[in-house]
Amino acid sequence: MRYTTVFLLPALLTAALLSACGEKAEAPAPEAAPVPAAVPAAEPAPAKVEPGGYEPTPEERVQGITLTQEEIDKKYAEARAATPQPVIPGEAPAAPVAEEAPATEAK
């Protein structure tokens, strides 16, 4: 029993691993069929110059939610007009800025 576990079992395991992981005889590669000449693809349609995106149909528009590009531009212009410009130290402001009174905190 001792002889079997010490010598024979590792020898059988090694033989099995070598046969499983050893080099295999390579089969010859089948001859590939000749590739036909490539047919030139049709020219793609010219790209649109205008901005892309999905344009909803009138049935898909939701009043008050779906905005046109003009409405979006108008909102952005209003927001830019209401945004105060930063004051950079050392540079004169472009337009006179009204001084605000300091806020008082109630304790």
Residues of the chain short of pLDDT 50, as ranges, are: none
19 assigned to some structural domain: yes
- Predicted pLDDT of residue 76: 95
Distances (CA, A) of 6 to 15, 18, 82, 83: 15, 19, 89, 86
Query: Contact, 58 vs 68, CB < 8 A?
Result: no
105 assigned to some structural domain: no
96 assigned to some structural domain: no
22 assigned to some structural domain: yes
**Residue 63: burial class (beta carbons within 10 Å; 0-12, 13-18, 19+):** exposed
25 assigned to some structural domain: yes
Query: Contact, 71 vs 78, CB < 8 A?
Result: no
28 assigned to some structural domain: yes
- Predicted pLDDT of residue 78: 95
Q: How many domains does the chain have?
A: 1
Please report, as a single letter, which amino acid is at residue 6: V
56 assigned to some structural domain: yes
Please report, as a single letter, which amino acid is at residue 8: L
- Predicted pLDDT of residue 31: 76
Q: What is the pTM of this model?
A: 0.30
Cβ contacts of 63 within 8 Å, gap of 6 or more: none
In terms of residue numbers, what domain contains 28? Answer: 1-82
99 assigned to some structural domain: no
